[in-house]
């Protein structure tokens, strides 16, 4: 029996549709004023509607402050990060998250063809994450065959046996009703003698 697949969440579903933009001829001071006015951490630099770079808070720190340059004397084109890494609107949010993690980025301009249509930030994904966590847990339970080997998942919290805080809690036990979320020490004891 074929199982109906849960619809993927796409970048276009959660992206900011009106990103803050500027031109390479604006000064760094102008870019900073845009960032402050719009309360954003970056400005996408466009040329003919195409993103050619991005100026972020980090660019200000590394290319202006650290080099003791005057923002009014520096053009955006001199400090922007380029080439800009982008993503398409029909890419999944999961793929966008992997790309951001792999490339150590906090934001991705969204392009269709070569035209800018939005911006996806780490915050957009974070706002979505509580519901994503629940969906992925449910989906994992539905889609993983019972016989499939599942990798143990560790979490932080209080051990249900010794009540000490641990960063390595794992679900232990099963049908017997004994066990629970146990720290490493209590798991060892449980494995040796499940009746304790």
Q: What are the respective helix, strand and coil percentages of the chain, to the nearest 5?
A: 35, 25, 35
pLDDT tens digit sequence for 112-144: 988 999 999 888 887 776 555 454 445 545 554
Q: What is the DSSP letter of 193?
A: -
Closest CA to 43 of 116, 126, 115, 124: 116
Cα gap 177→160, rounded to integer Å? 13
Residues 6+ apart with CB under 8 A from 42: 20, 35, 54, 55, 56, 57, 107, 119
pLDDT tens digit sequence for 59-87: 999 999 999 999 999 999 999 999 999 99
Q: What percentage of the chain carries pLDDT values higher than 70?
A: 76
Cα gap 9→22, rounded to integer Å? 29
Residue carrying the six token digits 């994992």: 140
- All CATH 3.10.580.10 domain ranges of the chain, comma separated, are 11-127
The per-residue pLDDT for 175 is: 46
Number of H helices, E strands in the chain: 7, 8
Quick one: CATH architecture of 11-127? Roll (3.10)
pLDDT tens digit sequence for 28-52: 999 999 999 999 999 999 998 889 9
Cα gap 147→172, rounded to integer Å? 17
Residue 27 and residue 75 in contact, taking contact as beta carbons nearer than 8 Å = yes
Closest CA to 86 of 77, 68, 99, 70: 99
pLDDT at 193 over 90: no
pTM of the model: 0.60
């Amino acid at each position: 029996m074929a199982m109906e697949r849960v619809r993927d969440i796409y970048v276009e579903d959660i992206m900011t549709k009106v990103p803050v933009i500027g031109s390479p001829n604006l000064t760094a001071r102008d870019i900073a004023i845009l960032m402050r006015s719009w309360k954003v951490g970056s400005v996408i630099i466009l040329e003919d509607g195409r993103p050619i770079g991005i100026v972020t808070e980090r660019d200000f720190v590394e290319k202006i402050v650290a080099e003791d340059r005057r923002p009014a004397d520096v053009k955006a084109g001199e400090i922007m990060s380029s080439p800009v890494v982008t993503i398409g609107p029909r890419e999944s949010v999961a793929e966008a998250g992997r790309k951001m993690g792999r490339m150590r980025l906090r934001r991705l301009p969204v392009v269709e063809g070569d035209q800018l249509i939005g911006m996806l930030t780490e915050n957009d994904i974070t706002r979505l994450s509580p519901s994503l966590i629940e969906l992925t847990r449910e989906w994992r339970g539905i889609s993983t065959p019972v016989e499939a080997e599942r990798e143990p998942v560790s979490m932080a919290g209080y051990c249900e046996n010794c009540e000490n805080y641990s960063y390595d809690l794992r679900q232990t036990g099963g049908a017997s009703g004994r066990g629970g979320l146990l720290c490493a020490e209590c798991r060892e004891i449980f494995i040796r003698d499940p009746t304790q």
